[in-house]
Amino acid sequence: MNWLRRLIKAATRTYDIAQPSRHWDVHFSTADNSDADSLISESLQKARARCRYEVRNNSYAKGIIQSFANDIIGTGPTLQLKTPNEAFNAEVERRWGDWGDACDLSGRQTLEDMLQLAIMQGCEAGEAIFTYGRNPSPQKGMPSLGLMMFEPDLIDTPWGFNNDPKVIMGVRVDDYGRPVEYYVLKDHPGKSNAGGLGMDYTTLKAEQVLHLLKVERPGQTRGMPWLTPAIPLFAFMRQYTLAVIQAAKNAANFSAVMQSDAPVGGAAAAEEFETLDIESGSMLTLPQGWQMSQLKAEQPVQTYEMFKREILSEIARCICMTSNVAAADSSRHNYASGRLDWQVYFRHICVIRNWMTKRILNPILNLWLQEAMLMDNYITTGIERIEPSMIEWYWPGIEHVDPQKEANAQQTRLSAFTTSLSAEYARQGKDWRKELEQIAIEQQYLKDKGIKTEPIPTTEKIDDEEDDKTEDRRLSRIRVS
């Protein structure tokens, strides 16, 4: 009997979600234990098509990915070198900025534009693909290195490699799953005049490709659109909005409905669903037994705004965006709640920026430096050895909700030596040396002109507890009502 008790115990030793249930079985009917690449290969093409469709036609989807790209990239990161040679640092930084404005091999985008496009590609396609080459006609005196982006759809398995286990969705990998080669179609598969099977392709070595994707499972080779979990919600919200508008239009289009309690076939009878024209601004009399009533416009209902707001909040979570940023509406937020929400969002922005620095900016900078150092009379202030620790990127700063409170907090941090001028200027996306040099120039100019400046008095410290009390009072009013 001991073996029977052990068998019964083993059968019940499991998680609740794994217990048999007709409700769970229906909900998880399509769940399986496939590997990451198998799941992606079955869904990637359709998921991308639907993401792009919704971004094209849904103003919320379009605005969310555009705001996401603007918040992360903004006007673009700024390079700062920290070698002992200040003149060398300044010249390299200036040369890099000039090259970034003309780095696109197609001549259409700057480096900042391409980084913004990479974020938008991640949202709707799941990955961004960069490659580099030699510009046949570079701007005078600049390195010939150039960048090019192409849509991830071009990376596909050519005809004849479908049974090769090392070729996964157009990427050849080694025994460790490291990309070795990329097979790139010469024509987009969605192009109107593209051929079918056997389309021409070219092979790029992995060293020639900068493949930006979020790896969410070990062994993953390609990326799924970041907005994938939200696409059904976008569709539901847009369908609901269109249905509400159509219902309101239908109610508004009917001026009135006439009904009669006269006997069927009587003198006052009328044909069913007969349409009568009524002259605008006139009064009319009805036959005996007839009544007129106007249809009530019952759409949108009172819960319409609440429903859309909740759906939009759920949509924004898949990219860690706050609901007020997604909706571009903070009318329902106060200072305290808006600040807390923004902190979570800003941390995600910092993670994405650090990810792009290591995967895109540093590799491109290394390629550019290799050519720039070999060019005659391009870097004229001497050649310095650049260690990775000497490279720093300043991203555009995020404006604080309340500049006065931020200034007070900054002064407290500096006074308590819990921060530095370099860190504080970096929060604003600025180089502390350049800013202090500019301040020194302005101060000397004021002194030369005999203009006296008075120190700005310290503003009164504002207690954040007042914000919390205000929030508590607001929530209390909501609960009472």
pLDDT digits (tens, 9 = 90+) for 310-342: 999 999 999 999 888 888 887 777 777 777 778
Q: Supply the pLDDT for residue 265.
A: 58
Bridge partners for 293 per DSSP: 257
Tokens of 393: 């990127």
Contacts of residue 445, Cβ cutoff 8 Å, sequence gap at least 6: none
Geometric angle at alpha carbon 426, from 421 and 432, rounded to 5°: 50
Q: Supply the pLDDT for residue 259.
A: 66
Contacts of residue 270, Cβ cutoff 8 Å, sequence gap at least 6: 258, 260
pLDDT < 50 regions, the chain: 196, 460-462, 471-472, 474-481
Q: Supply the pLDDT for residue 476.
A: 46
Could you report the per-residue pLDDT of 87-123, keeping only the tens digit for each? 898 899 999 999 999 999 998 999 999 999 999 999 9
- Give the H/E segment covering residue 285: none
Q: Supply the pLDDT for residue 481.
A: 37
Task: Quote the CA–CA distance of 82 and 394 in Å, as a whole number.
Answer: 13
Q: Supply the pLDDT for residue 79.
A: 92
Closest CA to 154 of 196, 114, 201, 113: 201
Q: 124, 48 in Cβ contact below 8 A? A: yes
Q: Supply the pLDDT for residue 353.
A: 95
3-state secondary structure of 173: strand
Q: Supply the pLDDT for residue 64.
A: 95
- Give the H/E segment covering residue 351: helix 335-356
Measured CA distances, 77 to 98, 112, 309, 357, 450 (Å)? 13, 8, 33, 9, 38
Q: Is it true that the peptide bond before 300 is cis, omega within 30 degrees of 0? A: yes
Q: Supply the pLDDT for residue 217.
A: 92
At residue 368, φ and ψ (nearest 5 deg) are -65, -40
Task: Quote the CA–CA distance of 14 and 16 in Å, as a whole number.
Answer: 7
Q: Supply the pLDDT for residue 475.
A: 42
Q: Where are the beta strands (DSSP E) in 27-170?
A: 78-81, 127-134, 145-150, 167-168
> Which residue stretches of 73-131 are H helix?
86-100, 111-125
DSSP 359: I
Task: Quote the CA–CA distance of 243 and 247 in Å, as a whole number.
Answer: 6
Give the DSSP per-residue string, 433-473. Answer: HHHHHHHHHHHHHHHHTT---PPPPPPPPPPHHHHHHHHHH
Instruction: Return the biggest CA–CA distance within the chain.
Output: 107
